């Protein structure tokens, strides 16, 4: 899955089943969405060593202010 912070809340991903990687920056939501701030998303971007993206997307469409998350389903066989 590829999404910005308006997608599935990060806290709902079971990290034993999903590898979640950040790209770009997580900036607090714009005022109209302020109540949708995700502390777990902020923590992911602070500790997850996000790769830079050189484009804007979503409501934070200016370069340097957009963030994306890529969630990849983990292979069940690799956990054995």
20 forms bridges with which residues in the sheet?
71
pLDDT for the residue numbered 28? 87
Asked whether the predicted pLDDT for residue 2 surpasses 90, the reply is yes
pTM of the model: 0.84
Residue in 29, 79, 37 with CA at minimum distance from that of residue 58: 29
pLDDT band at 45 (very low <50, low <70, confident <90, very high): very high
Share of the chain above pLDDT 70, in %: 94
pLDDT tens readout for residues 3-40:
999 999 999 999 999 999 999 999 888 899 889 999 99
CA distance 61 to 17: 30
- Does position 76 have pLDDT exceeding 80, yes or no? no
Side-by-side strand order, sheet with 18-24: 2-3, 67-73, 18-24
């Amino acid at each position: 899955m590829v999404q910005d912070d308006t997608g599935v809340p990060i806290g709902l991903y079971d990290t034993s089943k999903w590898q979640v990687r950040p790209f770009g920056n997580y900036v607090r939501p714009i005022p109209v969405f302020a109540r949708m701030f995700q502390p777990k998303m902020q923590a992911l971007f602070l500790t997850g060593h996000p790769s830079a993206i050189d484009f804007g997307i979503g409501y934070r469409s200016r370069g340097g202010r957009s963030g994306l998350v890529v969630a990849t389903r983990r292979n069940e066989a690799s956990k054995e």
